[in-house]
Structure 1
Amino acid sequence: MDDSQILSAFTDLSPDARGKRVAPRPVAPPLFDACKVGVVMRAVLWVEALVAVGSLFVATGWADWLLYTALTSAAALPATGLWLLAACGCKRWLARLPGWLQQAAGIAMGALAGLAGGALRGLATPFGAVPWLACACAGALVAAALVFALVLRAKGRLPAETAARLSELQARIRPHFLFNTLNSAIALVREDPARAELVLEDLSDLFRHALADQGEAVTLDKEVAIARAYLEIEQVRFGDRLQVEWSIDPEAAKARVPPLLLQPLVENAVKHGVEPSATGAQVKVSTRRRSGVVVIKVTNTVPAGQGRPGHGIAQDNVRERLRLLHDVQAQFRTALKDGIYQVRMEVPV
């Protein structure tokens, strides 16, 4: 399968080839959430602590310290409340933005809240000049600290959530696939007992791999082996309708990837490429080492008139686990062009 022409088409595809739109994918949660009571309490305590410590630099005694703290709190706390209200009210909108834009928006709202606090301070001391630039910078700095803390708190929950999603993904080796495989093996028992035995061995290897505790990473060659076992089982069911092509680079074998990386992707290729087509489809799995990265591609032909199928749940799962393992060094992209659908991943060596 010549899939080189697809490289210029990588994009997130929402409309299908007929101009219709697929069902909307669920919106991801925001990078930071300012609507929770615990977040509000921590933000207020953090700002009040900064005000109290900052007042120590200008106070000459306890009375002065209390006065400065009270005056500054009268401006800082309403500004903090304004930032919390804005961040909470815009939560759904922020969730649609990339992560860096969410953080930038949170800091920008902090600068605006700082200006609002400066205005309140100006009302409390009408005869003094308001340092607007300082107020904006202070609001942005405090907001940046709050956003950073909330992002770290959210990331702290990712390992547990990702482990739960991995368990869910392991359970996605569907019962009807097990039944279909067993039926295929039963049909071969009399005609080709040796092949029936190989099918059952492949099935055993697949489930052993899927149900085992693999840790956070495995080598790419193990993922290729389990994808081979899966496609060999499906080959028995679909026969000539499933045409599989492998292009495996031995130098890429030791790249570290999350467990169950390839199996759900080749399963998608079979489900959305082979099953709906009366004539079948081609599936190609390729790996190649290029300098300091390994490029992994799963490509399949799709029936005419069919756009991007499904909701992308398995792909989102793989994408998130790639990012958790390799952070910004990993890439995950999809494209559909001229009846060829491809998932392309990059991982560091």
Structure 2
Amino acid sequence: MPFFKRRAEPRHSVWQDSIQVSQWLGFAPTELPALPALSTVPLLDPTRAFDVCHVGLVLRAVLGVQMLLALGAALIARDAGQWVTLTANGTVVTMFAVLSWLLVVCAAKRLWPRLPEPAQWLALPGLGAVAALLGFGLLSLTSDEPPGAWRLFSIAAAGASGAAMLLAWLKLREHTQRPADALAQLVELQSRIRPHFLFNTLNSAIALVQIDPARAEGVLEDLAELFRVALADAAESVTLAEEVELAKRYLAIEQIRFGRRLRVVWHLDPEADGARVPPLLLQPLVENAVRHGVEPNDEGGELEVTTVRRGAEVEIRIINTVGAPARTTGHGLALRNVRQRLKLMHDVAARFDIDASDSRFFLRILVPL
């Protein structure tokens, strides 16, 4: 059979045998189907807080303001008839003010996030005051009595206060949605591991069964451990030591595929192991390094992973060489996802820096210990 004739030829490396045997069996580990891209919806999209162009959100805002109006009118009305009159007149003002405010906020939803936070709290309540005055002007068309300065000031103050309450509700609503979005993208990251490793690792294990059964068993053990971690329930955070172990499992599997082309150097500080990080932090980063720094180059490449404790912080560095351009153009989605989840977990206490050149890609992460 052709299989045994090929086995008699000199072998240059386990990696070459893995490729050859896999191709004879009808598999091609170097020609895997393209993985679906990660969702492009960012976790911390600043425009989402101002995206008020939804019927459900408009209804909630209008009903909330009308309820406050009805309660306020009930406090000052002498009887039910006066309460109805006050509520009806107030509805003209509040409906016009709320709907016009929401319309302007929706139309300029990409403008507001560009303003600093204090400027947002000045501009949008100011817009609410203007909208309330315009609504009161609409109501005043039915009256010949000119409004006094105090009444105009009260209307403007009420409009600004209502706009400030709406703005606070929108920001709180967007903030409470972040954990659900983070979990959804984490599940998506986990799902990407399964077919990717299944194709590469099983093909390598099939090749190694005839060449080196003990090593094939080790590959399958690494795969089982990797899947055990990837299929576990998504946790809010894990230790850096757990993330390093997962990255080692991944690189051990890729080492079978690339052989001497993949050169990995670890510099690990035991004092940094206890730092809490988002799950699946390192694996997508080292996968990027292998895919774009090692796979496209005939000579392979080097990957250096360093963890070190610096006082109350832990520094993580991932450096890989860059040679020939990658066969597939990346979109930076994995890097963006990791950056957003770090910010979601540690806010300003975390840093994520990238320094790329023609020969090297340097990634640095700082997290609190």
| CA positional deviation for 1:173 | 1.5
SS in 2 for 1:146: helix
Counterpart residue type for residue 73 of structure 1: T
Matched, 1:253 2:273: yes
Check 1:180–1:250 CA distance in 2 against 1; reply closer, same or farther (3 A cut): same
Question: Aligned partners of 1:250, 1:110: CA distance in 2, in Å?
Answer: 51
Report the more deviating stretch, 189-198 or 238-247.
189-198
1:310 is matched with 330
Alignment of 1:117-156 (within 5 A): 117-122=132-137, 124=140, 127-130=146-149, 135-156=155-176
| CA positional deviation for 1:54 | 4.2
Out of 184, 190, 204, the residue aligned to residue 204 of structure 2 is 184
Q: TM-score, normalised by structure 2?
A: 0.75
| CA positional deviation for 1:36 | 1.8
Out of 176, 193, 197, the residue aligned to residue 213 of structure 2 is 193
Out of 301, 304, 323, the residue aligned to residue 321 of structure 2 is 301
SS in 2 for 1:139: helix
Q: TM-score, normalised by structure 1?
A: 0.79
Question: Aligned partners of 2:199, 2:325: CA distance in 1, in Å?
Answer: 30
Check 1:288–1:308 CA distance in 2 against 1; reply closer, same or farther (3 A cut): farther
Q: Is the 8 A contact 1:264 1:314 kept in 2?
A: yes
| CA positional deviation for 1:174 | 5.1
Q: Mind listing any 5+ residue stretches in structure 1 that lack a counterpart? A: 1-22
1:224 is matched with 244
Aligned length: 323
Identity, in percent, stands at 49
Out of 328, 339, 345, the residue aligned to residue 325 of structure 1 is 345
SS in 2 for 1:177: helix
SS in 2 for 1:322: helix
| CA positional deviation for 1:79 | 1.2
Larger radius of gyration: 2
| CA positional deviation for 1:38 | 2.0
Q: Deviations over 1:145-202 (max 9, x none)?
A: 2122223233333333332322211111153532322332333344433333322222
Alignment of 1:64-79 (within 5 A): 65-79=83-97
Q: Mind listing any 5+ residue stretches in structure 2 that lack a counterpart? A: 1-36
Counterpart residue type for residue 40 of structure 1: V
Counterpart residue type for residue 301 of structure 1: T
1:108 is matched with 123
2:22 is matched with none
Alignment of 1:33-48 (within 5 A): 33-48=51-66
Check 1:81–1:181 CA distance in 2 against 1; reply closer, same or farther (3 A cut): same
Out of 184, 194, 197, the residue aligned to residue 164 of structure 1 is 184
1:19 is matched with none
Question: Aligned partners of 1:316, 1:244: CA distance in 2, in Å?
Answer: 24
Question: Aligned partners of 1:342, 1:134: CA distance in 2, in Å?
Answer: 57
Matched, 1:88 2:88: no
| CA positional deviation for 1:327 | 3.5
Bigger relative contact order (CA 8 A; separation at least 6): 1
SS in 2 for 1:204: helix
For the aligned residues, what is the CA RMSD?
3.3
| CA positional deviation for 1:137 | 4.8
Counterpart residue type for residue 245 of structure 1: V
Q: Deviations over 1:251-282 (max 9, x none)?
A: 11011112211111111111111112222222
